[in-house]
Amino acid sequence: MINLKELCENADTIAISGHVRPDGDCIGSSLGLSNYLKKLYPQKRITVYLIDPNPLFSFLKGFDEIVRVPASDVSDLFIALDLSEKQRLGDNYMLFENAKNTACIDHHINETGFSKNDWIVPDCSSTAELIYNLMDEEVIDTDIAQCIYMGLVHDTGVFQYSCTHRSTMEIAGKLIEYDFDHYKIIEKTFFQKSYIQNQILGRALLESIMFMDGKCIVSVIDRKTMDFYGATSKDLEGIANQLRYTRGVECAIFMYEIGTQEYKISLRSSEKINVAAVAKAFGGGGHERAAGLTMAGSYHDVVNNLSKIIEKQYRDNEEK
């Protein structure tokens, strides 16, 4: 565990950032931590840098002050949240390079981090849960509680995934004592979809293909379809999860085109396949049950390459 007070004490400027395509945990934990530190140290300059954060989370305090374009500001302390590989900072990597001191707080599967002060707990539900554990409960207020709660909700799929522990529930229990609409923000940010999002989800489900005797399911959304619906990557969140809910499916692959012959891929698994290991084999990463990567090649190449590793893992597991 790191000591937040010791880390921040001598830093006049603190930069907080997270991974590319920031999700609810990334945004919630970044804003939760910045609101907390601003309250503790009103004289310090504390800035959150997240590229293109989803406006769904604009009700969180501090959202409007997020620096949304790639930055290279120099800071005394840089804290990376919800990532443990430098590349995942994307175009904000200069913030890390230029900082005098660095820290990394994360829960992805990774043996080593990349900062001077790493705290990586792969078993933890979310970065938000880790951030909560660094906080002094007396300092937490409604705004901070709401940010942390969003992180817990999104990374646990509303307390449903296997990463949800007793500690997660206990923290959530304490957080909903604060005065915010905890049920409404779950509906607004997690379950509610735009008409377009639902249409694309429908397309992805309709065109999905099962293989490996129904153990795997794959679906792809190409550039043309995205353009037709005017969809961006934010509109595709949740599709991989929905594919995994197909009965009998062990592993779901959802991919969408981000460039010519280049795909962003989301992997989800039920029980047996360690998708973090699958993603890692191709330079990605994540958690055992949810991981991501980008891959070059045709749709068929990508599916072939992924399924070879998935099949091997499946066979090895069966033999055990």
Of 11, 17, 18, 19, the one binding ligand AMP (CB under 6 A) is 19
115 vs 313, beta carbon nearer Mn ion: 115
Please report where in the chains the tokens 């949304």 appear, as a residue.
Answer: 68
Nearest residue to ligand AMP, using CB? Answer: 292
Quick check: 244 binds ligand AMP (CB under 6 A)?
Answer: no
178 closest CA partner among 35, 3, 12, 13: 35
132 vs 314, beta carbon nearer Mn ion: 132
Of 51, 62, 104, 108, the one binding ligand AMP (CB under 6 A) is 108
Quick check: 102 binds ligand AMP (CB under 6 A)?
Answer: no
53 vs 284, beta carbon nearer ligand AMP: 284
The helix (H) or strand (E) run that includes residue 166 is helix 166-175
Shortest Cβ 92–ligand AMP spacing (Å): 15
Structure tokens at 110: 């990774």
Strands 209-211 and 101-106: unpaired
Structure tokens at 271: 């029980």
Of 266, 274, 307, 313, the one binding ligand AMP (CB under 6 A) is 266
Structure tokens at 86: 């430098």
Of 4, 21, 25, 290, the one binding Mn ion (CB under 5 A) is 25
The arrangement of strands across the sheet holding 101-106 comes to 45-49, 13-17, 77-81, 101-106, 117-120
Quick check: 16 binds Mn ion (CB under 5 A)?
Answer: no
Quick check: 252 binds ligand AMP (CB under 6 A)?
Answer: no
292 vs 313, beta carbon nearer Mn ion: 292
What separation in angstroms does the CA of 5 have from each of 39, 59, 136, 262? 13, 28, 10, 43
Q: Give the start-end residues of each E strand in the chain.
A: 13-17, 45-49, 77-81, 101-106, 117-120, 209-211, 216-221, 251-259, 262-269, 285-286, 290-296
Number of residues that bind Mn ion (CB under 5 A): 7
Shortest Cβ 308–ligand AMP spacing (Å): 19
62 vs 292, beta carbon nearer Mn ion: 292
Chain positions 150 to 209 lying near Mn ion, rule: CB under 5 A, are 155
> 10 Å Cβ neighbour count for 22?
25
Q: Which residues bind ligand AMP (CB under 6 A)?
A: 19, 88, 108, 240, 266, 284-287, 290-293
